[in-house]
Amino acid sequence: MNAEFKINGKQIETERLILRPFKQSDLNDFFEYASVEGVGEMAGWQHHENKDISQRILDSFISEDKTFAICLKSNNKVIGSLGIEKYGLEDKLTEFNNLKGREIGYVLSKDYWGQGLMPEAVKAIIDYLFVDLDFDFLTCGYFTFNNQSKRVQEKCGFKPYRKLELETQLGTKEQTLLNLLLNPSKKLNLVYSHPETLIYKK
Ligand SMILES: CC(C)(COP(=O)(O)OP(=O)(O)OC[C@H]1O[C@@H](n2cnc3c(N)ncnc32)[C@H](O)[C@@H]1OP(=O)(O)O)[C@@H](O)C(=O)NCCC(=O)NCCS
């Protein structure tokens, strides 16, 4: 099942980053990276045409309190986001019935790609959710054309779990690879449903 989750003021520090809740003063930094064409599109949403759109999404980040701002320590700039989202198809994926977990999603400013920053952020989040909050599992997906995101998930230990066709916010249908990471400190034996989309190997 989907775990309860709120950031609740939590701040996580890594070597180069601080992950913290979004605040209203992040609007300019958020718009700066979200308005670049070809960034959000890789995650299924359209780049922001104007600041009003960024403001609306920023308001939802703040009120829903489940999306971390990724802040670069060296210049104190918000350069991306990392969301602790609800995973979909909760009623169908019965293997998670007695377990608690979430799906993570992320975006990084194009100016900072290729420096290993997102794997650094994701590893810190995995540690927080598995060790401090005792989650059992995490899922994370990517459209099959998105090799960059695939690499992040591989570097963080996720394993191929299901192949699905999902509808995006852009109205397109995309082949999606869903990955799974089980909490390694627990000896979990899952009985997987829906073999027709399953590709998970222990
Ligand atoms: C996916 C994303 C978060 C990766 O973050 P990152 O911090 O750059 O991750 P890494 O530095 O580990 O690089 C990952 C891969 O991107 C590719 N890459 C690196 N630099 C790149 C660049 N400048 N341009 C394009 N791809 C690049 C490489 O294949 C790299 O894998 P490698 O380390 O095996 O060579 C970032 O590319 C992004 O925000 N993409 C758009 C949004 C998105 O796809 N979100 C995920 C939706 S599922």
164 within a domain of the structure (yes/no): yes
Does residue 30 belong to any structural domain of this protein?
A: yes
**Distance from the alpha carbon of residue 32 to the mean position of ligand 1, in angstroms:** 18
Residue ranges with strand state E in the chain: 12-13, 17-21, 67-72, 77-85, 101-108, 137-143, 159-167, 173-182
Q: What CATH code is carried by the domain that includes residue 117?
A: 3.40.630.30
Q: Which pLDDT value is given to residue 60?
A: 98
The tens digit of pLDDT for each residue in 57-93 reads 999 999 999 999 999 999 999 999 999 999 999 999 9
Give 144-195 pLDDT, tens digit per residue: 999 999 999 999 999 999 999 988 888 889 999 999 999 999 999 999 999 9
Q: Is residue 63 part of a domain?
A: yes
In a domain? residue 178:
yes
Task: Look at residue 168 in the predicted model and tell me its pLDDT.
Answer: 83
In a domain, 191, yes or no: no
Domain count, the chain: 1
Domain containing 43 equals 12-182
- Report the nearest atom of ligand 1 relative to the CA of 44: 47
**Residue 93, domain member (yes or no):** yes
Distance between CA atoms of residues 78 and 73, nearest Å: 9
Residue among 32, 111, 113, 151 whose CB has most ligand 1 atoms within 8 A, to mutate: 113
Q: Does residue 198 lie within any of the structural domains?
A: no
Tell me, yes or no, whether 4 lies in a domain.
Answer: no
Name every protein residue with a CB atom under 6 angstroms from any ligand 1 atom: 39, 42-43, 106-108, 113-119, 142, 146-149, 151-152, 155
The whole-number pLDDT of residue 72 equals 98
Query: Structure pTM?
Result: 0.97
